[in-house]
């Protein structure tokens, strides 16, 4: 049953970013982190990671760990690819780079918006920006590449 492979996402019809985003925040690692769908466009996807004590990182100052920010970017960039392709295509992350330009303010959600800016056959090129309230004052930037697997490649 195809749906079992995607936690209930429809993989045979048009990709529905909002429905997929809601599933993403309900199950598995995305559910553990409490990710929330934020919005999407033709080639971008946005999600929010609410702050909570259990996600605090090294330093003991209440700042969100950077691990959850990696996860947020990984998910948003993958979603941006399916959003641009308008269908679900199985893929793997080849690489992901994140620049942490400043620490997120303790207590604030981190919001990531990712864009799929190019698709060349099996390769999808993505970039993203994360902020904690003001997109003009980001906390992190990301760039990465995903590769479609199986028959799509």
Partner 1 sequence: MTAPFVLPPYARAMGMVQLADADGLPVLAMDFGDHSEGRPGFLHGGAIGGLLEMAGFAALDADLAARAVVARFKPINISIEYLRNGMPQRVFAQGQVLRAGRRIANVRIEAWQANRAAPIASCWMNFQLSPVKAA
Of 42 and 73, which has the nearer Cβ to partner 1?
Answer: 73
Of 28 and 107, which has the nearer Cβ to partner 1?
Answer: 28
Shortest CB 62 distance to partner 1, Å: 10
CA angle at residue 145 from 74 to 5, to 5 degrees? 55
Of 18 and 32, which has the nearer Cβ to partner 1?
Answer: 32
Half-sphere exposure of 77 (CA within 13 A, CB side): 32
Of 28 and 41, which has the nearer Cβ to partner 1?
Answer: 28
Q: Which of 18, 49, 22 is nearest to 7 (CA)?
A: 22
**Is 119 within 8 Å of 80 (Cβ atoms)?**
no
Shortest CB 55 distance to partner 1, Å: 5
Shortest CB 32 distance to partner 1, Å: 4
Q: How far apart are CA 30 and CA 68, in angstroms?
A: 9
Helix (H, G, I), strand (E, B) or coil at 10: coil
Shortest CB 108 distance to partner 1, Å: 16
Contacts with partner 1 by CB under 8 A lie at 4-7, 27-32, 53-60, 64-68, 70-75, 90, 92-100, 103
Q: Which of 44, 28, 26 is nearest to 36 (CA)?
A: 26
């Amino acid at each position: 049953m195809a749906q079992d492979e995607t936690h209930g996402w429809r993989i045979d019809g048009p990709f529905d970013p909002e429905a997929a985003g809601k599933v993403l925040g309900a199950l598995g690692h995305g559910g553990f982190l409490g990710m929330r769908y934020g919005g999407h466009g033709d080639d971008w996807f946005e999600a929010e990671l609410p702050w909570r004590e259990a996600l605090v990182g090294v330093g003991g100052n209440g700042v969100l760990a950077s691990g959850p920010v990696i996860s947020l970017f990984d998910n948003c960039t993958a979603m941006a690819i399916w959003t641009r392709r308008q269908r679900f295509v199985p893929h793997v992350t080849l690489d992901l780079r994140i620049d942490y330009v400043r620490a997120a303010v303790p207590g604030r959600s981190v919001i990531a918006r990712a864009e799929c800016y190019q698709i060349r056959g099996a390769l999808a090129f993505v970039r993203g920006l994360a902020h904690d309230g003001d997109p003009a004052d980001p906390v992190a930037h990301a760039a990465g590449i995903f590769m479609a697997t199986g028959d799509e490649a």
